[in-house]
Amino acid sequence: MKIAVLCHASAGGSGVVATELGLEVAAAGHEVHFVGAAQPFRLSGYGGMHGPYFHQVGGFAYALFDQPYPELAAANTLTEVILEHGVELTHAHYAIPHASAGLHARSITGKTRVMTTLHGTDVTLVGAEPAFRHTTGHAIERSDHVTAVSQFLADQTREVFGTEREIEVIYNFVDSERFTRITDAGVRARFAHPDEALIVHVSNFRPVKRVQDVVEVFARVSSEIPARLLMVGDGPERSRAFDLARDLGVIGRTQFLGSFPDVQTILGISDLFLLPSSNESFGLAALEAMSCEVPVVAARAGGVPEVVEDGVTGFLAPVGDVDAMAEAALRVLRDRDLYLQMGRAGRQVALSRFHPSLIVPQYLGAYERTARSG
């Protein structure tokens, strides 16, 4: 099958999932064409004669336009890819602009089916915004097939948009061969001393991620035991988190690594993962940590409980309760047996529930059904 993939290029969860899935689908023998404003960051180093291929969406500056029109530009590039390569299915990751662009290209060409995967903020944040509500709802209703990355998100979509249409739940997955425990003490020594607990947070530093809570929790933990914090990612809340770390006196034990591409190495040497988000449709970074045998302390929000089992692979606490999260973190880090038990349980969950061999066939089945539905 010939498949076009529309996705964000950033390090956010939707872009990661879209890229990883596209690579898996290409490895299964399908022809995959990524279409986007920039090459997805996890696509770097892949590709060749047999793909996957990348097609960059062009820009256009014209005085009459006060702002760019990403949906129209993406639709135009996608139309060219469909006509030139005979694309049978377009997989849009995010309702807008990607599903809307896919629907536009379908209308122009009459030659592709559109499958939309909802990832979270396209429904809970952007989609719920009055300026985009009708557009998002139209993209969901008119797509040939819709999937969501958690049951929470599927239910939330039906509630927000009042739709009764079928939404298939297909969970995210993790490459457990790449995301695995690293026992090389030399690698870990680059970031922490042997007697220090290494705590990590990975996100796009948007307000919903509550990165200042990460710093608050770490300040409490590091006042009790030797510890260091690695902040991986970048975004609008980075400066506030940095200032808070300085104000709380923990800036010397905190490193802001930016958009660190080798996140599997950071997770592979870490001892605890913090995810205090006020809303997560799934929590892919938490799953990647679990695959590396890293216990997770997270806020009980959105689809996180579908990934992190409280008391088994980590601990869940109310959103904003930094005291409870710090207490949970200390409980894990002070109890070696509990730490190892939770780490092994997390790895087992990654292997038994979220392995590519289990999830990718669900997407391939959805592709086949969607392509035949026309």
pLDDT at 238: 96
**In the predicted model, is pLDDT for residue 329 greater than 70?**
yes
What are the start and end residues of each CATH 3.40.50.2000 domain in the chain?
Answer: 2-173+356-372, 185-353
When pLDDT is cut at 50, 70 and 90, the band that residue 94 belongs to is confident
**pLDDT tens-place string over residues 191-226:** 999 999 999 999 999 999 999 999 999 999 999 999
Confidence of residue 45 (pLDDT cuts 50, 70, 90): low
Query: Which whole number is the average pLDDT over 145-151?
Result: 96
Quickly state the pLDDT bin for 50 (edges 50, 70, 90): low
Rounded CA separation 204/11 (Å): 7
262 band by pLDDT with thresholds 50, 70 and 90: confident
- Return the closest-CA partner of residue 343 out of 285, 294, 270, 297: 294
- Residue 109 to residue 282: CA distance in whole angstroms: 34
End-to-end Cα spacing for the chain: 14
Angle of helix 336-353 relative to helix 284-291, nearest 10 degrees?
A: 110
Strand (E) or helix (H) holding 246: helix 238-247
DSSP state of 318: -
Above 90 in pLDDT, residue 47? no
Residue count of the chain, please give it.
Answer: 374
State the Cα–Cα distance between residues 308 and 325, nearest whole angstrom: 14
Q: pLDDT, tens digit, for every residue of 290-310?
A: 999 999 999 999 999 999 999
CATH topology of domain 2-173+356-372: Rossmann fold (3.40.50)
Report the pLDDT value the prediction gives residue 75, as an integer from 0 to 100: 92
Band of residue 124 on the pLDDT scale cut at 50, 70, 90: low
User: Which pairing describes strands 2-6 and 314-317: parallel, antiparallel, or unpaired?
Assistant: unpaired
Q: What is the pLDDT of residues 226-257, one digit of tens each?
A: 999 999 999 999 999 999 999 999 999 999 99
Task: Pick 228 or 160 by higher pLDDT.
Answer: 228
| Percent of the chain predicted with pLDDT > 70 | 91
Q: In which band, very low, low, confident or very high, does the pLDDT at 64 lie, cut at 50, 70 and 90?
A: very low
pTM here is 0.91
Residue-wise pLDDT tens digits, 81-93: 999 999 999 999 9
In the three-class reduction of DSSP (H, G, I as helix; E, B as strand; rest coil), residue 159 is classed as helix
Alpha carbon distances (Å) from 83 to 4, 78, 113: 12, 9, 13
Q: Does 363 score more than 60 pLDDT?
A: yes
Containing H/E element for 113? strand 113-118
Q: Is the pLDDT confidence value at 2 over 90?
A: yes
DSSP characters over 166-185 = --EE------TTTS-----H
Closest-CA residue to 235 (of 264, 268, 212, 265): 212
- Is domain 185-353 classified as CATH 3.40.50.2000? yes
Cα–Cα distance measured from residue 354 to residue 366, given in angstroms and rounded to the nearest whole number:
17
3-state percent helix, strand, coil for the chain, nearest multiple of 5: 45, 15, 40
pLDDT at 60: 61
Distances, alpha carbon 280 to alpha carbons 84, 198, 254, 304, in Å: 38, 23, 24, 6
* C-alpha–C-alpha distance, residues 217 and 326, integer Å: 5
